[in-house]
Chains A and B, each alone.
Chain A
Amino acid sequence: MPVTYEEFADSRLGALLRYAVMLTGDQHTAQDLVQETMVRVQLNWRRVAGSDSPDGYVRKMLTNQFIDLRRGSWLRRVLLRAEPDPVRAVPFDHADETAERDRVWGMLARLPRQQRAALVLRYYEDLPDADIAEVLGCAVGTVRSSISRALATLRTEFVEAR
């Protein structure tokens, strides 16, 4: 188990970046998300290292940060009453061949973030539902219902698009 921040960053940064790409669907947003999370990890390393699973703790921080992303940080939101950033438009063009190929990828961007995170955790990170519930801070039942709702949405759109 890594003990210093440096060892943790060396061994885990790549995996965190891949995970962030799957969550955000975008290279640059993923990079920002990981950077913002890791700065906090570094500043609070004592606490992170002291948790049962530093790995899981950081994944949870990153996931929560992602779910919160659109609104900006909660401090900014509450204290400075910043206007929420506009929702990023999803480029989706049926005529475009790349878009056609990555139709599912495009649909993912339109799911609620919690649902997308649940899908990534199950189908990319291969976590059991109990662990997904832990990361998202909700009940196992909630995880299953968001995944099945997300799959239903994807299925409908997938069929309609054909």
Chain B
Amino acid sequence: MTPIEEELRATFERHEALTPAVGPVRAGIEVASVRARRRRLIRRATGAAVAVLMAGSAVPVILDRWHHGSSPSVPTAEFLAAEPAPAGPLDVLLLGSDNRLRWPDRNRRADTVMIIHVPTDRTRAYLVSLPRDGEVKLPGGARSKLSETLLSGGPELTGKAVSELTGVTFDATVTVDFRALRAVTAAVGGVRVCLPQAIKSVHNDKTYPKGCQQLTADDVGPVLQARYGLRNGSYDRDRNTQLFLRALAGKLAADGTVTDPARVHALFTAARDGLEITGDPAALLRVAGSLNSPGSPIGISERTFHGMANGREQIYARVGPSLYTALRDDTLAAWIAANPAYIVK
């Protein structure tokens, strides 16, 4: 041991006396944790970042470019270093709220309920849509339509109901409304979507033909809300939503401008009014940063209506148990191979 090393050890030991008392720190942590829990429902600015992850995990591209980019002015390793990237599978519940501005904020139903699953191997994200009119059990045993849980108990109740149904525990719940989707679409200059069938919107009287077309911010609401006149009603709407998210992801992944931090910042800021989140957005971003194929999530959707004895809809009547097991056991790739008919094309 050299003199300087000895001096170092002695210095550290001498300064142990500076250590603050444990008690007050412990109390401070409790107070701050309670505050953080309350706050996380309205962490909009950071939640906006997650919306971009939700939109098919384009963020990894951004992170990746920043990480390896030549520009010295953008954050590098420290960007991801705040915590180790969580390992293991990640499940996020994405709720598309039909909240419209003219209605009181609480008066909203879930148009879209989707589980985003990121497997341990981080190959790609999976989007599993749940039919919004399906029946779910609430804590305490009552039954309800899935879409109405958002109205009666907010995102937390919807999350509990989906956990009860599937056995999946969610790392985060993200609620997006059309303000966020509009804003993101406008910020990226429109999204090109290939519609599998024509849509005659009752919202703006426009007809969107079958096939590929550029959707502007004004088109997002009408196209994603359209349900009447589609062959399979809200199942087709779920598929359209997945197609839109995938197209948006592809655009963000391919569009060189997302490497511009100022542009990304503008995107996040634009979306923040239409977003709510529970969970840790930073952890989600770090997981997104580890995806291999950010631009091509795989979509899974129920195909048609299955009634129950009481007339309500049964969610994934044919394949529910095996699908939920695959989600919990992180074996979705094998499940998809066995059930290709449920893949959104």
Contact = CB atoms under 8 A, between A and B. Distances in A.
Q: Do A and B bind each other?
A: yes
Contact of A21 (B4, B18, B281): B18
A107 B260 CA distance: 38
B12 A120 contact: yes
B194 interface: no
A22 B29 contact: no
B5 A79 contact: no
Interface residues of B, number: 51
Nearest to A44: B280
Contacts of A38: 29, 33
B288 to A, nearest CB: 14
A50 B77 CA distance: 25
A68 interface: yes
Interface in B135-191: 169, 171
Contact of A68 (B9, B18, B48, B82): B82
B18 A81 contact: no
B4 A154 contact: yes
Interface string B12-30: 1011101110100110110
Given A44-B283, A124-B12, A9 B29 contact: yes
B81 A137 contact: yes
Contacts of B87: 51
B78 A74 contact: yes
A158 B37 CA distance: 47
Contact of B46 (A75, A77, A104, A123): A75
B32 interface: yes
B49 interface: yes
Taking each of B18, B32, B49, which has the highest tally of chain A beta carbons within 10 Å of its own beta carbon? B18
Given A78-B261, A102-B11, A47 B86 contact: yes
A123 B13 CA distance: 10
Contacts of A154: 4, 8
A38 B14 CA distance: 26
A106 to B, nearest CB: 10
A42 interface: yes
Contacts of B11: 102, 104-105, 108
Interface in A45-95: 46-47, 50-51, 57, 60-61, 64-65, 67-68, 71, 73-75, 77-81
B255 interface: no
Given A78-B265, A123-B8, A21 B83 contact: no
A123 B5 contact: yes
Place the interface of chain A in its size category: 35 or more
A34 B21 CA distance: 12
Nearest to A65: B82
A34 B24 CA distance: 12
Given A60-B84, A61-B84, A13 B268 contact: no
A77 B88 contact: no
A7 to B, nearest CB: 13
A133 interface: no
A115 to B, nearest CB: 12
B233 interface: no
Contacts of A75: 45-46, 49, 281-282
B75 A79 contact: no
B88 A73 contact: no
Given A43-B36, A105-B11, A64 B79 contact: no
Contact of A77 (B7, B19, B75): B75
Contacts of A151: 2, 4-5
A73 B37 CA distance: 18
A105 B75 contact: no
Contacts of A146: none
Contact of B49 (A13, A18, A79, A158): A79
Interface of B: 2, 4-5, 7-9, 11-12, 14-16, 18-20, 22, 25-26, 28-29, 32-33, 36-37, 40, 45-46, 48-49, 75, 77-84, 86-88, 169, 171, 261, 264-265, 268-269, 280-283
Q: Which 3 A-B pairs have the closest CB atoms?
A: A124-B12, A104-B11, A38-B29
